[in-house]
Structure 1
Amino acid sequence: MNDLDVSRVLAWLETAAQMLRDSFQEEREISRKTGNLDLVTDMDRRIEQFLVSNIREFYPEDRILGEEGTGDQVEEMSGRVWILDPIDGTMNFIKQQENFAIMVAVVENGAGKCGFIYDCMRERLIWGGPDMGLYYNGQPLQPPQDQELKDSLVAINWQMFADNVSNVQALAWGSCGVRIQSCAGTEFIHLLLGKQSVYVSKLAPWDYAAGRILCEAAGLRCSTIEGAPLAWLESIRGVFATPRAYESAIRLLNTQ
């Protein structure tokens, strides 16, 4: 197994982000996956193919789980597995041309090794892992302040908030307010930068793998809403938070 070259991955992300920025000058092909709220574009597939082809070239023994299905059928986490979200926030990419991100996670034998989240339009890149620390646009990133929920902004998936799934509205009222980006990547960036202290959402593996690695490396708490540990290959309703805010969030989310 070839050693992971972080500088190589960073170069891929820069190229992919520029491809996305340039794509706004072209016509997009847009189709539906499961309905009007679940869209995919030709650029989702193109970016994933770009990343997969580079991983195959430099790390041929590794396996790849990609949102658009370009990689492998990954059913267990032995060896090194890459988890890719080529455009997290596709609806934002289409409608706003901002508030979307590329996310890449590298997991070795079930342990998170390195995560990368790139907010393409604002050029905000956070990467790192438990053995290398965290970096924000090339500079070391310190863990966010451990605030109480009552002193924090929180991010909540909009559908969960509208339907009050797992009592999320009580969580909102126990905080300073709710912010909704509808992009897991930018929500994780805000969490890691200390702009909010809690993120609650329903997420597929590619939506949270990179964020989980980065949050755990920063000392944040990550679990399901019920407080159970996260698995890499399961869709979840997850909570990601600074430690003190996490305790209050879990209590409120599990109060009937």
Structure 2
Amino acid sequence: MTDKTLQQIDKLICSWLKQIDNVIPQLIMEMTTETKRHRFDLVTNVDKQIQQQFQQFLATHFPEHQLLAEEKSNEMITNEINHLWIMDPIDGTANLVKQQEDYCIILAYFYEGKPMLSYVYDYPHKKLYKAIRGEGAFCNGIKMEEPPSLKLEDAIISFNAQVMNLDTVQDLFDASFSYRLVGACGLDSMRVAKGQFGAHINTNPKPWDIAAQFLFAELLNLKMTTLDGKAIDHLKG
């Protein structure tokens, strides 16, 4: 795949995101909410409509590309797919419902299993983080630099204490400078990418939670592993 091809795809994606800018306000005004596995696991018409519109976008521009996404069946997705997009139409749905802030769209394009394009769109604050293989990582067009390496004692760590072992939580409290949680994996991760957080810990990530982060981590010289230090499969999380 050539750099020119990536630039062409990126241009189309950025154009699609601008179109979504005009759609989201009306979707939020008409917002409906459902629960999935439990009362904290929410899905809205905003999630569903954004994902549906991206599926239509792919069908129009890249009919040979496949999509792995939160609000669809992904049984047919395998390692053999050459052109794969992974999407979370709304990362931080609970934040959208309860706060109307701190949520984002996550998009990532993999070619033959390799991350090529990544997007984290912080819609409420109009911040588009994107990473392009061969070019770098950017926030609203400004190139992002490798963040400084921090000692744990000087770092703010991002994690959800409610789903972690209490002893582990206490150890993290004691060892780190402090802890915060935005509540949207993409936004927590971008704070790591910018050097605001020292790390983000997700104990049960799904592919769409972390898809965009692979390329950002690679380009900004950050580490992305399982809790025991192993490589992460982008199709499994």
Does the TM-score normalized on the shorter chain lie above 0.5? yes
Q: Is 2:20 the partner of 1:21?
A: no
Distance verdict in 2 for CA 1:164–1:11, change over 3 Å: farther
SS of 1:74's partner is coil
Could you tell me how far apart the structure 2 residues matched to 1:193 and 1:199 are? 12
Question: Contact (CA 8 Å) 2:153, 2:175: kept in 1 or not?
Answer: yes
Q: What displacement does 1:59 show?
A: 1.0
Identify the residue that residue 171 of structure 2 maps to in structure 1: 170
Could you tell me how far apart the structure 2 residues matched to 1:126 and 1:205 are? 18
Q: Is 2:96 the partner of 1:104?
A: no
The percentage of aligned residue pairs carrying the same residue is: 27
Query: More deviation in 28-37 or 67-76?
Result: 67-76
Could you tell me how far apart the structure 2 residues matched to 1:114 and 1:79 are? 14
Q: What displacement does 1:77 show?
A: 4.7
Identify the residue that residue 76 of structure 1 maps to in structure 2: 79
1:135 pairs, out of 122, 125, 138, with: 138
> Partner letter of residue 233 of structure 1?
L
Query: More deviation in 73-82 or 183-192?
Result: 73-82
Q: Is 2:185 the partner of 1:184?
A: yes
Residues 89-111 of structure 1: per-residue CA shift (max 9 Å, x gap): 00001000000000000111111
Q: Is 2:65 the partner of 1:62?
A: yes
CA RMSD, 1 decimal: 1.9
Distance verdict in 2 for CA 1:41–1:64, change over 3 Å: same
Could you tell me how far apart the structure 2 residues matched to 1:112 and 1:32 are? 32
Residues 178-203 of structure 1: per-residue CA shift (max 9 Å, x gap): 00111101101211111111000121
SS of 1:224's partner is coil
Question: Contact (CA 8 Å) 1:152, 1:175: kept in 2 or not?
Answer: yes
Question: Contact (CA 8 Å) 2:118, 2:132: kept in 1 or not?
Answer: yes
Runs of 5+ consecutive residues of structure 2 not aligned to the other structure: none
Residues 195-220 of structure 1: per-residue CA shift (max 9 Å, x gap): 11100012100000102221222110
Identify the residue that residue 246 of structure 1 maps to in structure 2: none
Could you tell me how far apart the structure 1 residues matched to 2:61 and 2:98 are? 35
Identify the residue that residue 224 of structure 2 maps to in structure 1: 222
Q: What displacement does 1:74 show?
A: 0.7
Runs of 5+ consecutive residues of structure 1 not aligned to the other structure: 236-256
> Partner letter of residue 195 of structure 1?
Q
Q: What displacement does 1:38 show?
A: 0.5
Q: What displacement does 1:78 show?
A: 3.3
Q: How does 1:221-240 map to 2 (within 5 A)?
A: 221-235=223-237
Aligned residues: 232
Identify the residue that residue 30 of structure 1 maps to in structure 2: 33
Q: Is 2:205 the partner of 1:207?
A: no
Residues 30-67 of structure 1: per-residue CA shift (max 9 Å, x gap): 11110101010111010001111111211111111111
SS of 2:86's partner is strand
Kindly indicate which of the two structures has a greater share of residues assigned to strand.
Answer: 1
Q: What displacement does 1:71 show?
A: 7.1
Query: What TM-score do the two structures reach when normalised by structure 2?
Result: 0.91
